[in-house]
Chain A
Amino acid sequence: MKGPFQAVPVTDKVYWVGAVDWDIRDFHGYATSRGTTYNAYLVMADKPTLIDTVKAPFADEMLARIRSVCDPKSIRYVVSNHSEMDHSGALPQALALIQPEKVLASAMGVKALQAHFHWDVPVQAVKDGETLDLGGERLTFMETRMVHWPDSMFSYLQGAGVLFSNDGFGMHLASARRFDDETPERFVEAAKYYANILLPFSDIVLALLDKVAKSGLPLKLIAPDHGPVWRREPERIVSLWAEWARQKPRNKAVVVFDTMWGSTDKLGRAAAEGLVQAGVETLVMPLRGNHRSDVATELLEAGAILVGSPTINKQLFPTVADLLSYLKGLRRKNLTGAAFGSYGWGGESIKLAQDALTEMGVATVEPVKCQYVPDAAALDAAHALGQKVAAKLKEALR
């Protein structure tokens, strides 16, 4: 049956049967400025197998694409690589229709699916390295705990060499194009995805990449659950992930702040001049115009962060508190930096920001604070702060 929503062939046996979310702009706090896709894949073996599903409201779109290839009721196995609801949300509706022989997930996935759906569906736990015979095709499972949830796993189609990598090597990008070579935005969005989703698990990512390399499995195609399928250069995204996971500092600084009456803004701009004049690539990101997830993205390939906050009622400015909480969770390593800010009387925010940076493991220089509106001396101090951070960054880069 052919309707408007059709499957897209990935190989002669594998079809993309996902959905495109053109609308979404806030993905649990991550600004998805170009939307996203939820990729599900159908493997047409003797036992047709569905790998992952889509977010619940897109179940009908996925089922329509499946129908363009086969009767959904002919699907025998359903694999859940990850229980997060953008991939599992359509499972209950799909399973009710499909009635498969088996539903399979990792051991942690079995528990997580139960904790999401509170259902009576028997889910079979597969072991790391276990292979499932699909009749003519073989699917091997690989546990990928904490990349990026405890339940996460990859599935690998032997022969065709397709790695169904779930959130691995993915990106948020709504597009009518399904492949990397058709997608000019791929590296920018892949970096944003890594910076905001994977960064805290970088040590585990490195161990996983090592495990995949040692397995000797040829990665002819990498089919993630968001964004394009990597067919032209799957090895490129794997090497970029390794580079991002190592978190080496670069000669780049991000100056991020919010402001009440423009004073912290002035200090931030003066500090940025100090960095630029010391030869550091510098980006100024006032928080009224920049989203926390874009700041995190810029930090992925940076080496320094300067955080400015005015004091409001003895506290950090709320947007700066939001950012620092977010960045602390992402655990970016190997940064140099400092806090700065303007205040009226207490000045507590500057210490709070500096303490937050120290707690994040940032190698800091002394912060700069200024009462009310900066005069020429205060602007010089902010400029010098930029230069001191630049000098400390240069040491770290040696």
Chain B
Amino acid sequence: MGQYLVRRLLISIPTLLVISLVVFAILELSPADPVGNLPLTIPPEVREQIREAMGVNDPFLVKFAKWLRQFMVNEPLNIFEEITGLNFAPPLSLAQEDLISTGEEGYGELASSLSADIQSTGRSVILDGQAQELFRSDRQFFLEDSSNSPLFLNEFANGTVGRELSNDNIDVPEGELLPLHKSRLRYLSWQTRSPIIDLVIERTPQTLWVVGLSYLAAIFVAVPIGVIQAYRQYSNFDRFSTVFATVGFSVPTFFIGLLFIYFFSVQLGWFPSIYDTTHVVTDLDSFLFQMRQSIMPVTVLALFYMALLSRHTRSSMLENLKLDYVRTARSKGIAERRVVGHHALRNSLIPVVTLIALGIPGVFQGAIITEQIFRVNGLGQLLIIAIQGGDLPTVQTLTFIFAVLNVFFNIVADVLYAVLDPRIRYT
């Protein structure tokens, strides 16, 4: 088993690499200009220098390697530190020539004068008056650039400056220490100027809440329905549920969502049509409100998977009920309840459990649409906002996260299958 797990994990590495390449290449081949939203006052030759400094003109493979390092090493570490509160970033050690080599005039000059004035002492950077003056006078300019150029930052100050500056607390008195608790490169959003990982962490709970609740609801409704359907094959209940299931995954979620809003919010006024994202659960009342506002998004998202899972439970159960061991159990005089609920169900659930694992990335993707209908500020909404605003780094990160979810739950499904079904032996 352990050997299988290791092998399975090893196989997923090339998959992940190719997916990264695809995600990276799509954005790399796109005609978007990374310095496109800099102020128009910047002369073209400076613009060209900025591109040069950002590494826009680097060979494709160099850029991809840097990107990989960022996504496979830096960002996971950032997430880990963010969640645990630990900090094991290496102390800042910047070679002076790295900093100065970025250019001659214009932006390069700014960068080099600034870097010359930045002395790193452990986790802190001292800014003298000149550097702060530069920050203040050219703040917009500097911020724009630093957040527009993740790869440039890597060469510039390992991301530290960009991180601190985006926090709006740069008005430090002259000569004082600017505390830096991150000395690792962070991928910044073009829209909000903040690290994308922070945005992701901020929005994950809402998505998890909606996705988790609806998936649980779908499982707990679909499995019993599927079992009863199979047990009473061709009964009215079976017929009705089969048709209902087909309706469930034929009617698009956005249409069901709008119908729900129209009937339950507009006409009946039972549930709020817009998810209140600022709502905080403190007591029973606020918890009830949280449930009330979650009902519609959760139901809409759950319906599709309910239909899918009940179908599969039914067919898997039907297959098992025909098998000899069920007949044997019955002939031994075991109560029908136990035969169905214990003997047949447990075997029928093996493929269903795998399917449940495989479906999880799909629910996250389904949440993109559901969150858009009910204005839930989750990951899906972040993706849509980023796409509408042309915020390529955020789009790239989120697409990559969705891809990682896919790969991860593929592994989970395979391993679950191997664990649950003793007939399957992987060597």
A interacts with B = no
Q: Which residues of A contact B (CB under 8 A)?
A: none
